[in-house]
Amino acid sequence: MKAAGAVLWRDADGDVEVAVVHRQRYDDWSLPKGKLDHGETIPACAVREIEEETGFSCVLGRHLRQVSYSVKGVPKTVDYYAAQTVSGSFVSNEEVDLLRWLPIAEASELLTYEPDRDVLAEFARLPADLLVVLLVRHAKAGKRSEWNGDDDLRPLSDAGWRQAAALRTLLPLWAPVRVHTAPRVRCVDTVRGVAEDLDVEMVEEARLSEEGYWPDPDAGLVRLLEVAADEGRAVLSSQGGVIPSVVQSLAELGGLRLEEIPCKKGSTWVLAFTRPFGTWSTSDSPSRWPTLVSAHYLASALARP
């Protein structure tokens, strides 16, 4: 059994407050969460459940952790995200009769279950307001051996277009405002729908294509940090020969330990960075650069059966 939820937070005059809900059925205080619907992804479930239980629409941030336990002998996992409120208001409903906005320490004291307190502690470990880059590997394209034209022009396959359509639904859950892409047709078409929905022009990133990255990996890495530091969240579509190296290098710079760095076609790395100090430029000391503090891998934008 799979479920998803979030630490829902808001800015209260410069301080962070989080939402804790009371479920009348269990007479407990918990973080908002709920089970996946059929054909739903885990991130989409988190957003839907938050709105159903709290009345607030939200924007997802970093993945916090997965909690596992059993319900009547059935294994259950719950994936928790950080999520910032966008709009809405609480109205008592069938599942939740009370909601309290509290500072983190007070919320932790009120929560009934230790795993919820652990999730909240992970949320509190880092700043709530982080930069986010959604680093996407292009969707499936026809086999290179079966394509006689310029490889830059190799198009998406039917399966690839299905992946691109799913990404068009998934990626907006993090509210990106910019779309960047390596200059390959398969990379461009993977995120074209996202750009169309945002009504923005895609920015080509030659240094983040395979041909542009490997002659000077440091320059490609700096370019990704520039994308991260720009105002607003970003989608960046690239290639399998680039993404693992970029993620590994960013993780090493940020002191993150990643056991492995998978990179399936149509997958997404949700990369969260600290904000740079003041006005930032690449000539500054690396200590002032955006720092990768969270990296979460989504193997597919398609819901599992």
Q: Any idea what the CATH number is for the domain that residue 14 is in? A: 3.90.79.10
Computed over every residue of the chain, the mean pLDDT equals: 93
Look up the pTM and report it: 0.95
303 within domain boundaries: no
> pLDDT at residue 288 above 90?
no
Residue 156 burial by Cβ neighbours in a 10 Å radius (0-12, 13-18, 19+): buried
Question: Could you tell me if 114 and 143 lie in one domain?
Answer: no
Question: Could you tell me if 266 and 290 lie in one domain?
Answer: yes
- What one-letter code names the amino acid at 119? V
Q: How confident is the model at residue 74 (pLDDT cuts 50, 70, 90)?
A: confident
Question: Could you tell me if 135 and 18 lie in one domain?
Answer: no
Lowest model confidence (mean pLDDT) among 18-32, 152-166, 218-232, 278-292: 278-292
Question: Could you tell me if 160 and 268 lie in one domain?
Answer: yes
pLDDT at 149: 62
Average pLDDT over residues 3-31: 96
Q: How far is Cα 20 from Cα 119, in angstroms, rounded to an integer?
A: 12
Q: How many CB atoms lie within 10 A of CB 145?
A: 6
Identify the sign of the CA torsion 241, 243, 248, 250. positive
> pLDDT at residue 286 above 70?
no
Question: Could you tell me if 48 and 167 lie in one domain?
Answer: no
305 within domain boundaries: no
Q: Look at the chain and report how many structural domains it folds into.
A: 2
Question: Could you tell me if 204 and 241 lie in one domain?
Answer: yes
Q: How confident is the model at residue 108 (pLDDT cuts 50, 70, 90)?
A: very high
304 within domain boundaries: no
Average pLDDT over residues 199-210: 98
119 within domain boundaries: yes
Question: Could you tell me if 239 and 155 lie in one domain?
Answer: yes
The residue ranking higher by pLDDT, 254 or 73, is 254
pLDDT at 296: 98
> pLDDT at residue 304 above 90?
no
- Domain of 196, CATH number, reads 3.40.50.1240
Q: Which of 108, 124, 140 is the last residue of a domain?
A: 124
In order, the DSSP letters of the chain are -EEEEEEEEEEETTEEEEEEEEETTTTEEE--EEEPPTT--HHHHHHHHHHHHHSEEEEEEEEEEEEEEEETTEEEEEEEEEEEEEEE-----SS-SEEEEEEHHHHHHH-S-HHHHHHHHHHHTS-SS-EEEEEEE---B--GGG--S-GGGPPB-HHHHHHHHHHHHHGGGG---EEEE-SSHHHHHHHHHHHHHHT-PPEE-GGGSHHHHTT-HHHHHHHHHHHHHSSS-EEEEE-TTTHHHHHHHHHHHHT---S-----TT-EEEEEEPPPSSS--TTS-GGGS--EEEEEEES-SSPP-
pLDDT at 146: 63
Q: Which of 69, 92, 124 is the last residue of a domain?
A: 124
> pLDDT at residue 39 above 80?
yes
Question: Could you tell me if 137 and 91 lie in one domain?
Answer: no
Tokens matching residue 194: 């996202």
Let me know: does 269 contact 248? Beta carbons within 8 Å.
Answer: no
Q: How confident is the model at residue 69 (pLDDT cuts 50, 70, 90)?
A: confident
> pLDDT at residue 6 above 90?
yes
Q: How confident is the model at residue 40 (pLDDT cuts 50, 70, 90)?
A: very high
> pLDDT at residue 271 above 90?
yes
53 within domain boundaries: yes
pLDDT at 233: 97
185 within domain boundaries: yes
Question: Could you tell me if 117 and 193 lie in one domain?
Answer: no
Average pLDDT over residues 168-187: 97
> pLDDT at residue 283 above 70?
no
Question: Could you tell me if 152 and 81 lie in one domain?
Answer: no
**How far out from the chain centre does Cα 231 lie?**
17
260 within domain boundaries: yes
- Domain of residue 39: give its range: 2-124
> pLDDT at residue 129 above 90?
yes
Question: Could you tell me if 197 and 281 lie in one domain?
Answer: yes
Question: Could you tell me if 172 and 262 lie in one domain?
Answer: yes
253 within domain boundaries: yes
Q: Which of 97, 124, 151 is the last residue of a domain?
A: 124
